[in-house]
Amino acid sequence: MAAYQFFKQVNKNFDRAAGYLEIPKGLLSQIKACNSTYHVSFPLRRDDGSVEVLHGWRSAHSTHKMPTKGGIRYALEVNEDEVTALAALMTYKCAVVSVPFGGAKGGIRINPSQYSAAEIERVTRRFTFELIKKNFIGPGLDVPAPDYGSSSREMAWILDTYQSMVDSLDSEGCVTGKPIEQGGISGRTEATGRGIYFGLREACDNKEDMEALGLTTGLEGKKVIVQGLGNVGYYAAKYLRDAGAIIIGVAEVHGGIYEEKGVDIEKLRDHLRETGSIREYSEGRFIEESAGMLEMECDILIPAALENQITAENAGRVNARIIGEGANGPLSSEADAILLEKNILIVPDIYLNAGGVTVSYFEWIKNLSHIRFGRMDRRYEENAMSRLLNAIEGLTGEQFSDDDFKRIGKGPDERDIVDSGLEDTMVMAYHMLHETAGKFQTDLRTAAYISAIKKVAVSYEQMGIFP
């Protein structure tokens, strides 16, 4: 069987969308091509004194906007094709939600669970050092973020390494997804999952689309299966459940849990953290082959793990009405065609999981402006609202309680502003995609690529590269 070519899959989607547009072939080729990829090999001395050589990559797909932006993943599956494909997806993702970054991605071929924290720190700092040497990182050049296998911990090490080597007032902006205490932003950890919730909420609120699927409008009562209980899957499940959906299944690498009445995702996540597996979980039915959960009947299926999870081999057995792509590239292009033929609504990755990069953009702005969101105006707004409530009391005789003043008169803090910006971004982008899909009589994925290609093409034309 031929090796999976992720970048080729991305370009198939690109070519399909490009066929709807009258853009010169040369410009399309420039947009599609990866600008640069850096492959580095470096030694790691293990805690036991042994030495092994690790491989890492960083791809900058498009520099039509600067800086470029994208996560760094730590996984054994990391290779140049994957990193290049993910960088391309970042280019289109940023364009879809109008975040002014070019696309980038990085990865280190390592299984972090097999290494100590001290070893992971040495790997992270060395990789950062290599990126600095080649001018592949900086607040105006290329800004990494967490991805599969990495977290705010690794981002803190990246920042510290960068600041020790580069004298810059704006150094905090060299990486996002940092701890709050080191220039991070409230709401970044849950941003991708929160964005998935906003996107699926908008999709399910469209009465015409839901009727075509044989579903009621809204999230209330929708049965959901989530693949992957990392940050993305967990927070998507949490916010969907809080909105009335029922999480009937969670699939992980070691198996799955199915519970018709609803999985207690907090309890399951705690069990996963404590034991490293969802085996021996005391509630629900354990499913030995987690891949089979992708084929179980549900209203919404959210693949939120890795790419290439639904292919031509299993797409025909998928039994969901809506697929929300929490991961990057979880559907092959062949699977996409099969699922669309089955009248399944696919909410695509380059829109649906853009919450992470959207809030990373807010964090980057915060770092460059050197001020926390809400610091300048929160108290002013609270005082203005208090004056308004006092005026209403004077005019009507109505008396507001202290709790009313606190609830109604509360000024927005950083988390409120971030959440508002994320919701506005996801809502506006969904309706733009839906309108584009209707205009071109196509599906949402193709509509997303059409929108992205048009925006990137305009940027290149404005740069004067293609007069």
| Radius of gyration of the CA atoms of the chain, in A | 23
Concatenating the DSSP letter of every residue in 197-210 gives HHHHHHHHT-HHHH
Three-state SS at 324: strand
Active site residue 12: no
- What would the two tokens of residue 148 be? 């599969």
Measure Cα distances from 152 to 72, 108, 437 in Å. 11, 16, 37
- Own/partner contacts of 273-277, CB < 8 Å, gap of 24 or more, are 276/113, 277/252
If we measure between CA atoms, which residue out of 231, 226, 263 comes closest to residue 355?
Answer: 231
- Own/partner contacts of 178-186, CB < 8 Å, gap of 24 or more, are 178/152, 178/363, 179/152, 179/153, 179/155, 182/156, 183/159, 183/363, 183/366, 183/367, 184/152, 184/155, 184/363, 185/359, 185/362, 185/363, 185/366, 185/373, 185/414, 185/418, 186/413, 186/414, 186/415, 186/418
- Catalytic-role residue among 69, 105, 178, 223: 105
Residues with active-site annotation: 105
